[in-house]
Amino acid sequence: MPKVVAKKPVAKKPVAKKPVARKVAWDYIVPVKLPADLKGVTPGKLPEHLLVPAVGGGKLHHIAAIAWAAMVAKAKTDGIILKPTSSGDCYRSYASQLAGFKQRYQLAPIAGTSTKSFEGSTWYLKKGMAMLATPGRSQHNLGIAVDVHSASEPKRLAWLVANVKTFGFSWEVVPSEPWHLRYVCGDSLPPAVAAFKGQG
């Protein structure tokens, strides 16, 4: 007797999806050169004379502020609006970094979340919160970092990918923080920034 083999229902082959060309070009990360007048300054405690208003709100170190203004102006001519996510997302004082940190992290353990070590304790990232540097460790505390509003909107991100280097900015943590840019050129202004300063 031939064995009756139950026919398995023929599963339809899944239609092969075309691989999405995902060229991550926005992984441009270079080390920061600090402006000379930031040496020896306590992060989060910048003297007022080093800070100036940033285009779009908040304050930045005076050199980063020029580079940011130059980049915002060029973006505008290309139809892209660049602004900080909020005035607190440019320079942050130690106190405001601490307040933000305590909003997002807690001492009571949470399973499976990311942690930071601060003041000798382990702090746990609360659910749904974005990571934040510990007070004094953020480049926002030096006035050289700015978080760009809606940075991952495709047109804006494409523009940033093509232009941040020209204006002396680079990312710091990708892909998790596409909005976080910091000025990396210290006292030697990139030509596009020097030209903008000359016009001003």
Residue nearest to Zn ion (CB): 180
Smallest gap from Cβ 24 to Zn ion, in A, equals 19
Of the candidates 147, 157, 184, 192, which one interacts with Zn ion according to CB under 5 A? 147
- Give SS3 for 107: coil
* By the rule CB under 5 A, 164 interacts with Zn ion: no
Of the candidates 59, 83, 156, 180, which one interacts with Zn ion according to CB under 5 A? 180
CA 163 – CA 174 distance, rounded (Å)? 17
Q: Is 103 exposed, middle or buried (0-12, 13-18, 19+ CB in 10 A)?
A: exposed
Instruction: Specify whether the CB–CB gap between 64 and 143 falls below 8 A.
Output: yes
* By the rule CB under 5 A, 60 interacts with Zn ion: no
Q: Which stretch binds Zn ion (CB under 5 A): 23-31, 37-45, 104-112, 143-151?
A: 143-151
Q: Which stretch binds Zn ion (CB under 5 A): 78-86, 108-116, 142-150, 184-192?
A: 142-150
CA 153 – CA 106 distance, rounded (Å)? 31
* By the rule CB under 5 A, 92 interacts with Zn ion: no
* By the rule CB under 5 A, 182 interacts with Zn ion: no
Smallest gap from Cβ 199 to Zn ion, in A, equals 28
CA 91 – CA 177 distance, rounded (Å)? 17
Helices (H) and strands (E) in the chain, counts: 4, 8
Smallest gap from Cβ 147 to Zn ion, in A, equals 4
Q: Which stretch binds Zn ion (CB under 5 A): 5-13, 108-116, 146-154, 192-200?
A: 146-154
Q: Which stretch binds Zn ion (CB under 5 A): 13-21, 32-40, 45-53, 176-184?
A: 176-184
Instruction: Specify whether the CB–CB gap between 66 and 197 falls below 8 A.
Output: yes
Smallest gap from Cβ 104 to Zn ion, in A, equals 13
CA 113 – CA 131 distance, rounded (Å)? 10
Number of residues that bind Zn ion (CB under 5 A): 2
**Whole-Å CA distances, 22 to 18, 26, 37, 102, 177:** 12, 11, 40, 36, 17
Q: In the complex, which residues of this chain contact Zn ion (CB under 5 A)? A: 147, 180
